[in-house]
Amino acid sequence: MTIMDKTADIPAPRAGGSDDSPLLEVRDLHVEFHTRDGVAKAVNGVNYSVDSGETLAVLGESGSGKSVTAQAIMGILDMPPGKIPQGQILYRGQDMLTMSYEERRKIRGQKIAMIFQDALSSLNPVLSVGYQLGEMFRVHQGLSKKQAKAKAIELMERVKIPAAKQRVGDYPHQFSGGMRQRIMIAMALALEPDLIIADEPTTALDVTVQAQVMDLLKELQTEFNMGLILITHDLGVVADVADKIAVMYAGRIVETAPVHELYKRPAHPYTRGLLDSIPRLDQKGQELYAIKGLPPNLLKIPSGCAFNPRCPKAEDICRTEIPALVPVSEQDGSELPGRGSACHFWKETIHG
Ligand SMILES: Nc1ncnc2c1ncn2[C@@H]1O[C@H](COP(=O)(O)OP(=O)(O)OP(=O)(O)O)[C@@H](O)[C@H]1O
Ligand SMILES: [Mg+2]
């Protein structure tokens, strides 16, 4: 069964693009993988949007469909085995899924750029960093070799790589992990995109370097007024960086909220579980909470709410009816803009 989710911050579909369209809007997106063992339903009706200058953090355990959604937006899904049976991906109001290959190619890479977790495998080991950065300008803007090199140095300076002029001819392995991730950011910025999708951009780095890279990304995003979709399973990273959060579970958005409200008052038991499992400095020595059980097998997602077998609050209805993502309000009925929960018992969860 599929149901159209309704959220507070998701406007009605538009036929064509218009100025008031969000920068990027994913609507009721479904992605499945046809495997030997059956159909794995990786994305099951995702809705989210991000505007210029805004950061959306997408959060959820491993396998919840965060990266697959991003790959669908970038048009880099493996198809087959992947398939998009339903949904829209609107860039400034225009559905990229129905665009011609040529139209789509112009958006991908130029208007929307992606940063991956593993810089080493995304960069070509046998070409210098300067060559790879410069290539963007030679191919897309027809610049000469010399002009492209100057641009590459400029970009390396932008992302604060020390001694950029001297290092422009160095190869990827000659840079530290943090510096390589800065090169990936430079690469993404090269064509001045409107939107950056960063998929676990700092996960492979140690904590201090993580913070530096994150700060840089945030700084550049503000300067260029870009939209940012930040995919992470680390709730600690997002608090300082994101404006709003979408929490994913088994291929669906189960909660959306402005970042600080989510931390203060989660409206879904899954979000509450994620928050309770963050180590806290003021509770040293106490056993860390963990959500019981494991995320579901996507070949066989539980009926009703996919989280029900792990949920401390589950009742009969949770085992039979998929909860829609509905607007969340204050106890007196007043609106909580941007908030939504896909829990039958959201009221008890947030107000209880
Ligand atoms: N090419 C593929 N073929 C088959 N299944 C796939 C393929 N790509 C992804 N999947 C499945 O889709 C599901 C969602 O994967 P996805 O990579 O989006 O998870 P994620 O939320 O990004 O997790 P993580 O935090 O581990 O990166 C997973 O169960 C994964 O095995
Ligand atoms: Mg992932």
At 279-300, the pLDDT tens digits run 766 666 667 778 888 999 999 9
**Among the atoms of ligand 1, which is closest to the Cα of residue 233?**
25
Which numbered atom of ligand 1 lies nearest the CA of 43? 14
Ligand 1 site, residue 37, Cβ cutoff 6 A:
no
Residue 118, pLDDT > 80, answer: no
Asked whether 67 lines ligand 1 (CB < 6 A), one says yes
Indicate which ligand has the atom closest to the C-alpha of 71.
1
d(CA 164, CA 186): 12
From the CA of 61, the nearest ligand is: 1
Burial of 214 (0-12, 13-18, 19+ CB in 10 A): buried
Residue 318's pLDDT band (cuts 50, 70, 90) = very high
For ligand 1, is residue 298 a contact (CB within 6 Å)? yes
**Averaged pLDDT score across all residues of the chain:** 89
More confident position, 236 or 262: 262
Q: Strand ranges (DSSP E) for 94-137?
A: 94-95, 112-115
Helices 129-141 & 177-189 angle (0-180, nearest 10): 10
Model confidence, pTM = 0.90
pLDDT in tens, 120-138: 778 999 999 999 999 989 9
Average pLDDT, stretch 158-184?
Answer: 93
